[in-house]
């Protein structure tokens, strides 16, 4: 049965103090975030009414039915699926940092759309912002492999003509999502990997970095914890589960979906992979149809979670196919894939999915999923705690 109380985050004014007092939000109500402001405390606020204000708050919604999270959405981002951020264990400063990180990514994409840019440029800009933020498992904040290195993956797709580009296992690209776009636009290929992808990016003018650029203390600590836990179970399954337990939030990715003024859709996804993963492991993020998919007339989707399961289930392409061939709307299609199909394969995660009319859904079977979205009236909503975006069951 699916029950999804809608709550959200109000960014009511610029922060002038290190911490704002938290205010209770009435259970089941959606609180919106006016664009152009920042903040970290929760509150009811007085977000403007308008076309985005009546976004299907699900208090009292029928159980067991897929319902979209919002309408009139133009861009959305996610920062990974997992269980790391618990309200009672998260300081106001940390809450603000995550909310600001998601909101900054949305604003980066909005700037592109505001000046008439296309949806591909908007999702690239949004994902670059997340790649540059060490809080997220992509770019600067990428997790460590088992041999204490970093191997990053990314993909991007244009809905108007199904053009796509991706890179896998790159080790020296500062912004893998921009390398993926280069593959789409400057090569005859869809996916480049390893040294070839690094070299292609450098030859085309992208900023390169040494491996120490990606290093963060939090990710190093997670690797050490994963190796310690894996010491008691030498099997591949044991190593895999230990990695997730050590750094649950890091099993996610970052991603963005958008529609532009011409209603063209685009999607992008980027990740550092799994903590303590085998060197050479590639998950769903750089694979078109698994971690990323965009097709005008159906959906732009970016996934996050257990990559092997999303690969086996062809997650994002299946959402599109259920819409195109099965007649489902975006919420019903995303719900079927994320809640009904993928868990049967033994994994969990989430997806952000947007159709050409601006209907948006973010279903997930994991306990939580960090995400944010922008509506036509300039409202930004951020959701980081499980009680704001409970799992679909």
- Could you tell me if residue 237 is inside a domain? yes
| Residue 131 half-sphere exposure toward CB, CA atoms < 13 A | 27
What is the residue-wise DSSP string for 139-180?
GGGPPPBTTS---EEEEEEETTT--EEEEEEESSBS-HHHHH
- Could you tell me if residue 257 is inside a domain? yes
Q: Residue 15: what pLDDT?
A: 35
Give CA–CA dist 246/152, Å, rounded: 19
- Could you tell me if residue 264 is inside a domain? yes
Enumerate the active-site residues. 253
Q: Residue 232: what pLDDT?
A: 56
Q: Residue 14: what pLDDT?
A: 37
Q: Residue 333: what pLDDT?
A: 98
- Could you tell me if residue 290 is inside a domain? yes
- Could you tell me if residue 169 is inside a domain? yes
- Could you tell me if residue 216 is inside a domain? yes
Cβ-based neighbours of 119, under 8 Å, separated by 6 or more: 113, 158, 159, 258, 259, 260, 264, 265, 266, 300
Place of tokens 């191997």: 151
Q: How many residues does this entry show for the chain?
A: 393
The strand pairing partners of 288, in sequence order, are 292
Q: Residue 25: what pLDDT?
A: 32
Look up the domain containing 141 and give its range. 73-383
Cβ-based neighbours of 381, under 8 Å, separated by 6 or more: 8, 9, 30, 31, 32, 33, 70, 372, 373, 375
Give CA–CA dist 391/305, Å, rounded: 13
Checking DSSP bridges between strand 164-170 and strand 292-294, what pairing results, if any? unpaired
Q: Residue 349: what pLDDT?
A: 92
What is the residue-wise DSSP string for 308-363?
HHHHHTTHHHHHHHHHHTT---HHHHHHIIIIIIGGGGT--EEEEEE-TT--EE--
pLDDT means per 10 residues in the chain (393 residues)?
40 35 33 36 29 30 63 97 81 95 98 98 98 96 96 98 98 98 98 98 97 95 90 54 43 89 97 95 97 98 95 98 98 96 93 98 92 97 90 68
- Could you tell me if residue 258 is inside a domain? yes
Q: Residue 235: what pLDDT?
A: 54
Q: What CATH number is attached to the domain comprising 110?
A: 3.60.20.30
- Could you tell me if residue 286 is inside a domain? yes
Tally the domains of the chain.
1
Place of tokens 């069951």: 393
Question: Three-class SS of residue 379?
Answer: strand
Q: Residue 367: what pLDDT?
A: 86
Q: Residue 393: what pLDDT?
A: 58
Q: Residue 233: what pLDDT?
A: 55
Checking DSSP bridges between strand 265-271 and strand 292-294, what pairing results, if any? unpaired
Give CA–CA dist 355/295, Å, rounded: 9
Give CA–CA dist 77/138, Å, rounded: 13
Q: Residue 85: what pLDDT?
A: 81
The strand pairing partners of 374, in sequence order, are 75, 380
């Amino acid at each position: 049965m699916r029950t999804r109380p809608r709550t959200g985050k109000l960014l009511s004014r610029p922060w002038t103090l290190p911490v704002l007092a938290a205010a209770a939000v009435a259970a089941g109500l959606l609180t919106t975030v006016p664009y152009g402001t920042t903040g970290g405390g929760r509150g009811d606020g007085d977000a403007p009414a308008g076309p985005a204000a009546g976004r299907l708050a699900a208090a009292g919604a029928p159980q067991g039915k897929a319902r979209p999270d919002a309408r009139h959405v133009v861009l959305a981002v996610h920062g990974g699926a997992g269980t790391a951020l618990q309200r009672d264990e998260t300081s106001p400063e940390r809450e603000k940092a995550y909310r600001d990180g998601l909101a900054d990514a949305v604003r980066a994409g909005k700037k592109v759309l505001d000046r008439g840019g296309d949806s591909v440029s908007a999702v690239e800009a949004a994902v670059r912002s997340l790649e540059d933020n060490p809080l997220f498992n992509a770019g600067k904040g990428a997790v460590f492999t088992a041999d204490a290195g970093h191997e990053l993956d990314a993909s991007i797709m244009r809905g108007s003509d199904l053009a796509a580009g991706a890179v896998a296992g790159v080790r020296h690209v500062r912004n893998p999502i921009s390398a993926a776009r280069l593959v789409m636009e400057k090569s005859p290929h869809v996916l480049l990997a390893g040294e070839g992808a690094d070299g292609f990016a450098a030859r085309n003018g992208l900023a390169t970095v040494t491996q120490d650029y990606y290093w963060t203390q939090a990710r190093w600590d997670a690797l050490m914890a994963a190796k310690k836990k894996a010491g008691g179970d030498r099997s591949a399954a044991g190593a895999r589960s230990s990695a997730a337990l050590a750094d649950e939030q890091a099993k996610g990715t970052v991603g963005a979906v958008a529609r532009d003024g011409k209603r063209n859709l685009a999607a992008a996804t980027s990740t550092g992979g799994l903590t303590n993963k085998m060197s050479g492991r590639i998950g769903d993020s750089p694979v078109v149809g698994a971690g990323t998919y965009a097709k005008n007339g159906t959906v732009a989707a970016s996934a996050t979670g257990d990559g092997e399961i999303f690969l086996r289930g062809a997650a994002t392409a299946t959402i599109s196919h259920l819409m195109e061939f099965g007649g489902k709307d975006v919420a019903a299609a995303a719900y079927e894939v994320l809640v009904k199909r993928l868990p049967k394969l033994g994994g969990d995660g989430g997806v952000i999915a947007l159709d050409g009319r601006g209907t948006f859904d973010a279903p997930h079977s994991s306990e939580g999923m960090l995400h944010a979205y922008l509506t036509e009236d300039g409202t930004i909503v951020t959701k980081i705690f499980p009680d704001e975006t409970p799992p679909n069951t």
